Amino acid sequence: MKPVVQPVLFGYFRLDGGAMFGVVPKPLWERKNKADERNRILLALRSLLIKGKDFRALVDLGISNKMSPKLFDIYGYEPVEGGVEGMLARYGESCETITHMIITHLHFDHASGATTLKDGKVVPTFPNAKYIVQRTHLEWALKPSVRDRASFFREDFEPLLDKGLLQTVDGDCEVLDGVFVQKCDGHTFGIQIVRVETEMGTVVYPSDEIPTSSHVPLPYIMGYDLQPMVTLTEKTKILERAADENHILVLEHDPTVVAVRVSRTSDGFEVAKSYSSWEEIAR
């Protein structure tokens, strides 16, 4: 039995448009990504639910109720109605049925939902789950640089460490039956993208290596990336394989496009087909 996947939208937030597109000028990126009066663009918090024969896994879960009102305002957070439990219930799951959470990296907009505030205490959101992250990334998150330390909130993952729930892996490997992770180092050290071999084909969750459909063209790399030239190399390899093997790329932060297929061009890659809903692909 091959795994079944389902993108799950847990909300929206906003980040600075210039930071999201690095060296690309605003007149170019704003054509598809309208900025508000604070120069922020709307972004999705889209996770990937993976159902296997013996597991229920969730890839990433950004922004939780632990954030202060000040940070909620800074990031323009908009949770979906029903919260985490409500959204999981739509797909026949609950926080208790999740057996694994694969965290692509520990930036707050990807890992904050791994823990939650309950009765005044920060506790694991999924009490029966193992949480999977790259070892080198955890080491970096515990001692980040001045440049990126604002992206890590220790309360997102320290409670998992304290309870022995955080499982580390080293490099590329199969973490669950039919579910593979690939280590990258461009956006941050030890980010991992996820690949799932399903009946409908290969589904890839590239996380912040390709956060939106606007980031498919090669020069579109975030200003947040610690090693942008490494991102360029990694992103090129992801897109080459996706184009050649017709992969479905599920986009974590695109507010309107759930997934894309890509094709080669004379100078890189482009979106060959975009999907605004998973049903467009699954049917």
pLDDT at 280: 92
Considering only CA atoms, which of 11, 100, 87 is closest in space to residue 51? Answer: 100
pLDDT at 5: 98
Beta-strand ranges (E) seen in the chain are 4-16, 40-51, 56-59, 78-79, 100-102, 115-118, 121-124, 130-134, 166-169, 173-176, 179-184, 191-198, 201-205, 248-250, 259-265, 268-275
DSSP 144: -
Long-range contacts of 254-261 (CB under 8 A, 24+ apart): 254/43, 254/44, 254/46, 254/211, 254/212, 254/213, 254/214, 255/12, 255/42, 255/43, 255/44, 255/212, 257/212, 257/213, 258/7, 258/46, 259/7, 259/203, 260/213, 260/216
Q: pLDDT (tens digit, 0 to 9) for every residue of the chain, 283 residues total?
A: 899 999 999 999 999 999 999 999 999 999 999 999 999 999 999 999 999 999 999 999 999 888 899 999 999 999 998 899 999 999 999 999 999 999 999 999 999 999 999 888 999 999 999 999 999 999 999 999 999 999 999 999 999 999 999 999 999 999 999 999 999 999 999 999 999 999 999 999 999 999 999 999 999 999 999 999 999 999 999 999 999 999 999 999 999 999 999 999 999 999 999 999 999 987 6
pLDDT at 1: 86
Residue with tokens 């704003």: 30
Calpha distance 224→233 (Å, rounded): 16
pLDDT at 64: 87
| Domain 4-282 top-level CATH class | alpha beta
pTM: 0.97
pLDDT at 161: 95
The amino acid sitting at 165 is L
In whole numbers, what is the pLDDT of the chain averaged over residues?
Answer: 96
Domain ranges for the chain, please list them.
Answer: 4-282
DSSP 178: T
Q: What is the chain's percent helix, strand, coil content, to nearest 5?
A: 25, 35, 40
